[in-house]
Structure formats: structure tokens, C-alpha cells
Amino acid sequence: MEAATSGAEEVEEEKKAEFDASEIEYASYGGEHHLPLIMSLVDQELSEPYSIFTYRYFVYLWPQLSFLAFHKGKCVGTVVCKMGEHRSTYRGYIAMLVVIKPYRGKGIATELVSRSISVMRESGCEEVTLEAEVTNKGALALYGRLGFIRAKRLFRYYLNGVDAFRLKLLFPQPELHPSLVMMANDDASQRHPANRPLEEIPEEQERF
Amino acid sequence: MDERRAEAAAAAAMGRHDGHPRPASIPSGDGSVWADVSPLLEAACADLQEGELIHGDNFNLFAAMSALEIMDPKMDSGMVCRYYSVDEAIENGAAPVPISFDKTVDVQCTIDIMDHLLACEGTWHKGHSLAQTVFSCIYLLRPERTSSHALLHSYCRIIRATCKAVVSVVSDARTHEEEDLFTMSYGLPLIGEDEKCLSMLNAVEETIARQLRACKAPSSGRKVIEDLEPLQNNPALEEGYCKAILCRLRFRKHFYHVLMCLKRPQGRGLQLARKHISSCLSELEIIRKSTEVLRSNDYGTHNSGEDKTTASGRQPVGFDASINTRLSAPTPPRSIKILSWSEAVDYFVKLLHDLDIICSFSLDASLEGILQFMVQFQKSHPDLVSRAHLQTLLIQDGKLYGRDSIFAVITKAAGLPEILRNHDIQNGECLVQLGQLVINLLKILSTNAAWQRRKLGKILQDWRVIHIQLELPFRQEMGEESGLSADQSGRQDILRQILVWVEEQTFWIASRFLMLGFELELYSPGEYCMVYWYIYVVLIKLAERMHHKMSFTNATEPAKTRGKKKKGSTKDTSRDIQMPASVLFLQSYICLAEGLTMMLAALRNERMLSQSPSPFNSDHERFIQHFELLQKAGVPDHISYQSFEESTKNVRFSTLVMYNYFKDAQRIAKEVKNSFPNDPDRQSELRRVEQVAEHNSIALTVLCRLGSLDPSLKVSFDFSHHPYFATAVVKRS
């Protein structure tokens, strides 16, 4: 889906909020009271329209993958994700990432996404994917620093006619590091959390 | 369910009216029962708040995203913006016929409609839906309404016919898979009426041409054509308007002819198409020039801003962009920005130039020549419509140009003698499949770069499978060769030669796949080293196979020619020893790729590129991801991250100083230029290679001399000289 953030290099000309990184508090999705916060942030900042069902789909199935950032009680950023089987791999997907403009460039988005990615890795994901507009230099730089590659270019992916990149992050694979195989085997029983039906979404359908 | 039971169910559902106690359930026969759901629904209504949902097991992201919020303008494409229907728009006077009872205004408005339609058509070609672009014109939606207005009517008819022809070629080519909005035309009046549209247009054109002659004739001569009414009432404007309309009509006529000529089988219409293309281009020039006249003759206020969709700068009458949104697919409405008038004209100029390039390409080219042509053609980023035409021209009825069997094409490409091209071997399953792969490859090379790269990556596997199948008999029959009959060994020779060609082709696809990654901006600077290394490895293999194939060809074919003209034989032998020019050409790429790999590796190893390690993975994972499809298909065999690491981990500037690969690249490029005297594309490509080599050679020298000693040196890479081979830029910070 999308991201509205800026990379650290990007200098925003708009007014910046004065704050210290330590003043930002991060919270995992905590229930119904967080939903309107996420929705209003995404609606404000991203180009694609999402219905309330789309938000619910994510936060109800994978509350542990959604995080919010607060500054003095005000929600200034959020990340919404999912994970599941996809063509015989178990993978995480970052659906939405937003940091409001005055708070960009201070590493909030990096922190939000890193938290989600860590949970995905612990849950047994082999890779993480997402889409970002080719024009969104900030997001591309951010994900590049985290180790994502640009796997594909999706022609006119968004409703506004802009191309997207599909970005992918592959976690180190046990078979390539024999010492890790034992650990991986131990984890196998926990790999699929709960008995949730994890559907596979054909890539072509992810686009609307 | 039989009738009685249906009645009972209905009665149960409406149980509250008949006074009888409601049965809780009604047996339905097969072990299940009909139950009244009203209480459940009522309870649910009270329970469920707006925006909440009952989550079923099969509720997936697709379902969630398919839900639209009614009356949200970002999502609800059925939301009424202005009119409920076309009829309502017409009743409200949105598209009057005539447009005005003042004939001058009517003509001006007609020209505006023509111009805006051109802008819409260009926007459609650029990938928006037909319904929201061209068919936002209310006049087009009700063909019968304009019949009393000959000028507008004939123009609308040819627009519909043109759209239909374009939809048909694009659907046939299926190059639009990624651009699926293009061919959606349900609910639009695109059917029929092709035949008469040209004769109508010709008749109108003839009338206006006479009106133009009449207004230009001296007043004495006017008597002869007195029965002819002028186009409109203002004599001062008559000539300008006649001319403005004539060029617009003629453009439409020639453009339609172009499409019809391109449709003719086996490329028979290409010569004629070129004539019409050149007429189209000159009419477009006249159209462009008419802007001055139309602006100065303006009757009302307007601003001639850049984004105006008409030559006059006025808003056209009779369009409503929202009127068809309900005809578009059940997705949120896409925001559409119609091209400006001058952008639209530019678009058509480009389209026509692209079509002209296609028409002027030789119909006798070899497969190698065709592949090269397609790569070259794609460099100018042709849009969907011209790419679709290229594809339908190349492949008709499963044959090249609808004429040459694919087997013949393959044997020729594999360098086999002509007599073998009808060999019964072609009916073997493997070769039939190979033919299909070749057709597929040509189709893929006609698609947009993003789609093309994905497909190329996927078909590598298919080529590999064919390769294994073709190779199988050779592995089995090793050692039995002495017992083969002449026929069998002839068959073997053919297959062996085709096998080499299949390998060559596979590496060619791989190299194209890798290089397209640069065009699509898929690689970040930190990954360049591994990408150039992989390109280097693939190109080496490609050059080997090419050389192998050519040495085989030279060993068989010149034998015959030599027999014919013995005198020239001394020259031929000297050529045999030399490296063929096309292999040398590749050699210049190989040197560049190797040089860049080494330079980047040295920069990395000497920590001169600011690159912090990523927190979740390493280069190893990025290598696996970028080259996954190549590795899966074994292209090439025995290549892994370890081999990349091995060959780059010890590179230092102190070792690079000994050998400058860029100097080799430069030398070879210079040398090989003389081998392609009549190939301007190769010439300019070689010039680019030379430039990259020269710049990088200098950069390398500087780095070797100062590199690690001078920490203020900053190195970056750009693509200012070549789209795929980077140029190093060394700066002191």
C-alpha cells in the first residue's frame, strides 16, 4: 500500500516540531480507542482511499504488528501491517506507514517500522514486503537503509497513476547459516500464530 | 423447493400478519431447515455500529478493500456529481444541437470539441479509461443526435471508429495486461458504422474545401459558386476557420487510414501507412499553427494557460467527465488529468514517429535483428498503442509477420543451412514448445519495461527447461555415436546447433533482465557492485555461446560459398580467425561491467562508500533476492553469492592500478566501430560505451593515486553517459 514519511536526509521546509526523540512514546495497537487515531492519520496523509473495513481487517487480525507514536499525548505516527502465507513463504506486509509532517526526519518512521519488522521476524516470517510510490524518495531511502531491495516496479499501481516499487526484505535464511538451523527447528512449532486462516492474496489483487 | 414449500416459507417470513404462531423452522427436505432470520437480523441491527463488521473466516484483504464507502467521493464512483444520466444532461442543455444558432459561435465551439477530444484521446492512450476520457463527450454517447450537424456528426463518427480500431489492436496484442483500463469499453457506443465514416468525412471535407476556395476567390469569380453558403457569417474569420477545420478533419482521415493500413496482413500496408503518417504529421503542424488564429478570434474571455485542452483556450461545450464514472470498473474513481492541448499534439507526433519507425523496419530481418530492433525501439519509451502495433505486426497467426514459420526463424537464427528449414524435426514436441517460447519472447519485448522485466525473469525457467530437454538425447547417446545412421546424425547436428542457440538466447534474456533493472531504477548504489558482477558473468557466457554458434556457422556455410567463388577464399579464411564483430561489441560491455565491478569492490573494501550495515540482513540476502530468478534457472550454473564474494573481497586500488579494464573497453569500442558502418544505432551505442569508459578510466586513475590517502574524496555514480553503465564522479568535499 503506501507510506507518508520522509527519509532522514530530506529537509522539510514546513514548520518543524521542536522535540527530543526521547519524548516520543511508542505503543502497540491497544484496541478500539486507537482505531480512529490511525484512520485519521492515514486519511490525512495517504493518497489511496481505504474503507473502515480495511483498517479493521489489519488491526483485528494482527494487532501485534501495528504501532502508534505519541508526542505529549498526540498521535503523530502509525504503522499498520499483516503477515501470512504467500506462495509457500510466510511473509510480512507493511500496509500503511504515516508520520505527520512536522515530526518527519527524526527517525520516528524508522522506529515504527523496525518494531513491526522485529515482531514479524520473531513470528517466523521469511521476508517482508510493501509497496511505495516511486516518487516517495523519503520512504524509499528509509526502507533502503533497513535493507529492503526494490524487487519490482509496478506500472501505474496507484489510483493517481503513479508507479510503485515493490520492496522486499529477506531475513537471513537458516539453511545458509548452518549454526542457526537448530534454533529455526525449535521455532517451527510457533511459526503460525493461533489457528487463524492466513489467506494468500494474489499479487495482482493487491492493487485497486 | 416446490411451490407449496415456497409459500410456506413466505408465510413464515411474514408470520406476524396471519395471527398464527410462527413455526420456528420449516423442513427443507435434505436434512436442513428453513428458518426465519428476521429476529436475528433485528438483533444484529441493534448490535452492530456503523463501520463494524462481522468477521467471517473467508474475509480477506481483497474483500476488505472491495468494500466502498457510499457517498465518499474518494471511493464511490457512482456518486452523482452533476447529472444522473446522459439524458438528464442533454435535457439540461449540456450538449445542444446545433451548439449555437449563431453560425460563427457554432463553428468555434465545434473546433473546441475537436480539440478537447484529441486531448482526451491522448489521455486515453496514456492509460486512462475510455469512458472517462473520450467518452466524456456527450455528443459521442448519443450518435443519432448529431445527424443534423454534418460537421460534428462526421467527426464523432470517425472518432468512434478510430477508438474501436485502437481497442481492437490493443486487445489482440494483449500488451495491455498491465494497462487493463485501456480496452474497457462496455456500455459505450463503439459498435458498427466503420464503413461509412470515411465517406461522410470526405463529403464534409469537400464542402469545406469549396467554402475555403469560395472565400479566397476574387469577388468576380464568386458568382460561379454562388449557391454555396459560407461556413459561418463573419467573412473576416471565414478563411481561418475553414483552414482550422480542414486540417483537423484531414488529420482524422489520415490517422484512420494509418490504422487500417497497419491492420493489413503480413505487413502489406506498411508503405502506404508511412504516406498517411507523413500526411498526419503535416496536418498536425497546420493544426498547431491554427492556434494563433483561433486565439485571436476569440469571442469571449479566456485565459490561455498551459493546461488548456483546446487551441482557443476555451472550455469545450458538451463534456462531462463524471457522466460515465459508473461505467468504469467497480473500483474507486481514478483521478484523471486530461492532457493539455499542446501535450496532446506532442503525444500524437510521438505516436506517429514511433509508428513510422515500425513501418520502416525491414520485413526480412533476422530474429537477432528483430530483437535488437525491439530493444532499440523500447529505448524511446513508446506508448501502449505503438507497442501493440509492433507486436501484431511481428506475430500473426503464430508466424513471424504472418508469413515465416517459427521453426524456419529459429533455424536461421541458429545458423543452420536453409535446406534444413523444412526438416520434419520441427514437429517434435520440444521444438514446437521452443517455437512457442520465441513467440512469447517477442510478445514480452513489446510490453512496457516494468511488465517486461517481470515476464523475462519468469520465462528464464522455461528456456532452461527446453535446454535440458534438448540436451537429454546427447547425454544418453554419448558413446553410441558410431552406430548412428546418416539421417540420425543429421538430426543430431541440427539439434546440437539449436541447443547452442537456445543457450545463447537464454543468456541474452538474462542480460536484458539485468539491464532493465537500471532503467526501472531497481538497484541502489550499494547493490551496483553485485549487479555489474552478475552482468559480467552473464555477458561472458553470452559471448561464448555467440562465438561458438558463429564458428559452427562459419565451418558449414562458407564451405559452400567457398566452393562457388574460389577466388575470394583467402579473404574468408582471414575472417574466420578474427573475433566476429558482434562478439567484440559484447566484449566492450564485458570490460565495462568488469571494470565497474572492480572499482566498486575496491571502493567498498577500502570503505570509501558511506554505507552502514542494515539492521535486519546483509548483502548476501540482497544478492539472493535480486538474482533469485536467474539462480533458480541456473543462469549461469554454479554461480552463487560465494563466487561473487570470492572474486571481489580482495580487490584494492593498489591491485587495480595494474590493470585498467576501462582502457580495454575504450580500445575495443573504438576498434569495433568500423565494423558497423551502416548501423547508426550501434555507432551511437559504441560512442556511449567509449564515453563511460573514458570517464571511469580517469576516475580510476585518480582513485588509485589518491584514493585511501585523501579522505575528502567523495565518489558517486550517475548515468549521464549510458543508461545501464554508470559513470563514476569523484569530488573533493
Pairing of strands A74-86, A67-71: antiparallel
For B543, phi then psi, to 5°, come to: -65, -40
Rounded Cα distance, B556 and B537, in Å: 29
Rounded Cα distance, B645 and B601, in Å: 10
With CB atoms and an 8 Å threshold, state whether A163 touches B53.
no
- Map grid coordinates 438483533 to a residue: B43
Interface test with A, best of B55, B58, B60 (most A CBs within 10 A): B60
Spacing of C-alpha B84 from chain mean position = 36
pLDDT digits (tens, 9 = 90+) for B615-630: 999 999 999 999 999 9
Q: Is A85 on the interface with B (CB under 8 A)?
A: no
Residue B591 — left, alpha, or beta (φ > 0 → left; ψ -120 to 50 → alpha)?
alpha
Contact A2, A94 (CB under 8 A): no
CA dihedral (B116, B120, B125, B131) positive or negative: negative
pLDDT exceeds cutoff 50 at A195: no
Say what the pLDDT of residue B165 is. Answer: 93
Say what the pLDDT of residue B706 is. Answer: 82
Spacing of C-alpha B20 from chain mean position = 69
Residues 365-384 of B with CB under 8 A from A: none
Which residue of A153, A159, A206 is in closest CB contact with B522? A153
3-class DSSP state for residue B658? Answer: coil
Q: How far does the CA of residue B306 sit from the closest CA of chain A (Å)?
A: 21
CA dihedral (B492, B494, B500, B503) positive or negative: negative
β-partners of residue B717 are B728
Rounded Cα distance, A60 and A64, in Å: 9
pLDDT digits (tens, 9 = 90+) for B363-420: 988 999 999 999 999 999 999 999 999 999 999 999 999 999 999 999 999 988 877 6
Say what the pLDDT of residue B665 is. Answer: 95
Contact A4, A97 (CB under 8 A): yes
Say what the pLDDT of residue A200 is. Answer: 32
Rounded Cα distance, B157 and A6, in Å: 50
Say what the pLDDT of residue B251 is. Answer: 98
pLDDT digits (tens, 9 = 90+) for B80-95: 667 878 899 999 999 9
Q: How far does the CA of residue A185 sit from the closest CA of chain B (Å)?
A: 20
Over residues A74-101, the mean pLDDT reads 94
Beta strands per DSSP E along B105-196: none
Pairing of strands A89-99, A127-133: parallel
Q: Is the peptide bond before B558 cis (omega within 30 degrees of 0)?
A: no
Write the DSSP string, B352-372.
Answer: HHHHHHHHHS-TT--HHHHHH
For A202, phi then psi, to 5°, come to: -55, 140
Q: Is A123 on the interface with B (CB under 8 A)?
A: no
**Which secondary-structure segment (H or E) carries A180?**
none
Say what the pLDDT of residue B324 is. Answer: 77
Nearest residue on chain B to A120, alpha-carbon basis: B616
Say what the pLDDT of residue A17 is. Answer: 81
With CB atoms and an 8 Å threshold, state whether B53 touches A159.
no
Residues above pLDDT 90, as percent of chain A: 58
A82 CB neighbours in chain B (<8 A) are 61
pLDDT exceeds cutoff 80 at A176: no
Pairing of strands A164-170, B25-27: unpaired
Contact B626, A169 (CB under 8 A): no
Contact A89, A3 (CB under 8 A): no
Rounded Cα distance, B422 and B435, in Å: 14
With CB atoms and an 8 Å threshold, state whether B454 touches A152.
yes
Q: How far does the CA of residue B614 sit from the closest CA of chain A (Å)?
A: 5
Say what the pLDDT of residue B127 is. Answer: 85
Nearest residue on chain B to A197, alpha-carbon basis: B57
**Which secondary-structure segment (H or E) carries B282?**
helix B270-296
3-class DSSP state for residue B684? Answer: helix
Say what the pLDDT of residue B50 is. Answer: 73
β-partners of residue B731 are B714
Which ipTM was obtained for this model? 0.82
Q: How far does the CA of residue B710 sit from the closest CA of chain A (Å)?
A: 25
Burial degree of A26 (CB within 10 A; 0-12, 13-18, 19+): middle
Q: Is the peptide bond before A102 cis (omega within 30 degrees of 0)?
A: no
Rounded Cα distance, A138 and A53, in Å: 28
Neighbours of B299 (CB within 10 A): 14
**Which secondary-structure segment (H or E) carries A80?**
strand A74-86
Which residue of B55, B60, B74 is in closest CB contact with A49? B74
Contact B546, B570 (CB under 8 A): no
Pairing of strands A127-133, A164-170: antiparallel
Which residue of A51, A57, A171 is in closest CB contact with B68? A51
Nearest residue on chain B to A129, alpha-carbon basis: B625
Residues of chain B where predicted confidence (pLDDT) is lower than 50: 1-19, 301, 557-576
- CB under 8 Å to A36, separation ≥6 — which residues? none
What is the DSSP code (8-state) at residue A174?
G
DSSP H helical ranges for chain A = 35-45, 52-61, 108-122, 137-146, 181-187
pLDDT exceeds cutoff 60 at A6: no
Say what the pLDDT of residue B84 is. Answer: 79
